[in-house]
Amino acid sequence: MLVVIAGAGRVGLGLAEALIKEQKNDVVLLDMNSRAVKNAQAFDMLVLHGDMLDRQALVEAGIERADVFIAATDKDDRNVLACGLAKHLHEHRGGKREDLLTICRIRDETILDEQAHGGLAAWAEVDRAIDPIDGAISRLSSGIRASSFAEVIPFDHEAYLVELEITEDCRLPLDVPLADVEVEAGSPVPLLIGLKRKGTRSIVPSGTTVLRPGDRIAVATTGLGSFDDLVHTFGHDVRAFPAQPKVVVVGGSRLGLRIAEHWLDEGAHVMIVEGDLQTANAISGHRIGGHPELEVIHGDHVSRETMEEVGMGGMDVAVGALDDDHANIAAMLFAMDLGVPNTGLILNDNDLVHVVQRMGISFSVDITRVAVDELLTLVHRKLAGHYAVLSTIPNVVGVTHEVTKAAKFCGRRIREGGFPDWMRIAFIQRSDSHGRWSSHDPHPDETLIEHDRLIIFTSPDHVADVEKKFRV
């Protein structure tokens, strides 16, 4: 598959790197910034210096042979135009219009609404558009509930993938093959789908794998209520989290409003602190402006007198939604100093993610990784759902495939399905007669039925092998 990516920033470069690891993709990266081009040349792909709105640049990138074109710059209008030009050139130079999938990174809500109603596909030749904010907010709210987790990846329908470290206080037997652990533990063992040990390559655990303190693991689980059990099982302290938390959002930006809306939907009381009077007043005209559980405060979020007066120290959660990563970090450190026990950030600079957790901030999300995951899901258009790249356990990825009637394992139990050791089924997602979806643990005796969605984890170089197994 030939993928042309326009934009060699954090998102474009991260996407290109993930596609290359699958060892089945040819990637061409295009950017008009000479420094970005130079940085990208360290990777095994063709990197071109040029403008995505320049016909000749797209031709040099091989747009007529491309299967996917992705406009991943931070300029919405240019991304939209580039998709239209790419589709036109692909057809004009002998390709079939429908054979080129165009994907656009968008931030403007008006343009996203147009995409949701089919407008972009009709007049701008944009087949798919992504905005990673909602995905980042979902990860953040899940992760804040259990700060021992290094990462939380939601998969819809109450399915979660969590990453954490095994401590010396782990409740499971250590240095014992996993096949024997359940017997010794006397209870079912959480489903491990990835493991990273210092100095070794990440693996999908098998029955012979042993656990040791310091291992980074990825665990599949269903329901937010399971988080405390996982934290306890692997040796971390369980911290109570209120059912109806009081949440302060620092910043009334677009991001801040989306964060506030999410927590309101979760049943929280939300206070937005905004320093600009005009912005604070404008929130009343937003769709959440009249919510009975929303409070808007105009004031300086780093003024101790002001924040003590509005009761920030009595809040359960603080989330930064300012425009600058460093300003957000400072705001969360200040909230911690006032006594807020749970703090969270959505960061643009992925280098800061692990740094801020060492500062004591409860949880942070790298929005670049979320964007890459969502783009990869769209690139793999045969997938029925998500594509996920693990954060602290490199070289293990998650893909989703639908069980078809013609599949050899349809109607068979998982243990009879012939699934190899290099892949692990993390979840079965199934729809009932009313169209309601739910997530199930993949017990070996579970029978797979038509239209089941299997969320599978494997190494990137096996993604193509997984697709072959589901191909009829």
CA pair distance 400, 383, nearest whole angstrom:
5
* Model confidence pLDDT, tens digit, residues 85-142: 999 999 888 877 778 999 999 888 778 777 676 777 777 788 888 889 988 999 899 8
Q: Is the pLDDT score of 262 beyond 80?
A: yes
Question: Hey, what CATH topology would domain 246-340 get?
Answer: Rossmann fold (3.40.50)
Identify the architecture of domain 2-131 in CATH: 3-Layer(aba) Sandwich (3.40)
Q: What is the pLDDT of residue 291?
A: 94
Q: 3-class DSSP state for residue 193?
A: strand
Largest CA distance in the chain: 68
Tokens of 344: 């969270």
pLDDT more than 90, % of the chain: 53
Report the 10 Å Cβ neighbour count for 53: 16
Residues 57, 63, 64, 65: is their CA dihedral positive or negative? positive
* Model confidence pLDDT, tens digit, residues 393-444: 878 888 888 999 888 899 999 999 989 989 999 999 999 888 899 999 999 9
| 65 CA to centre of own chain | 30
**Whose structure tokens read 């029978």?**
447
Identify the architecture of domain 371-470 in CATH: 2-Layer Sandwich (3.30)
* Model confidence pLDDT, tens digit, residues 224-233: 888 888 999 9
CA pair distance 445, 443, nearest whole angstrom:
5
Angle at 199 between CA 196 and CA 203, to 5 degrees: 30
Q: What is the pLDDT of residue 382?
A: 58
* Model confidence pLDDT, tens digit, residues 171-218: 899 999 988 887 666 667 899 999 999 989 899 998 899 999 999 999
Burial class of residue 466, CB neighbours in 10 A (0-12, 13-18, 19+): buried
Tokens of 73: 């710059």
Q: DSSP for 363-426, please give it.
A: EEEEHHHHHHHHHHHHHSTT-SS-EEE-SSSTT-EEEEEEPPTTSTTTTSBGGGS---TTEEEE
Nearest to 164 by CA among 321, 432, 392: 392
Q: Quick check: 272 and 208 in contact, CB under 8 A?
A: no
User: Which of 3.30.70.3270, 3.40.50.1950, 3.40.47.10, 3.30.70.1450 would CATH assign to domain 136-233?
Assistant: 3.30.70.1450
Which residues are registered as beta bridge partners of 345? 320, 364
Q: What is the pLDDT of residue 383?
A: 60
Which residues belong to CATH 3.30.70.1450 in the chain? 136-233, 371-470
Which residues belong to CATH 3.40.50.720 in the chain? 2-131, 246-340
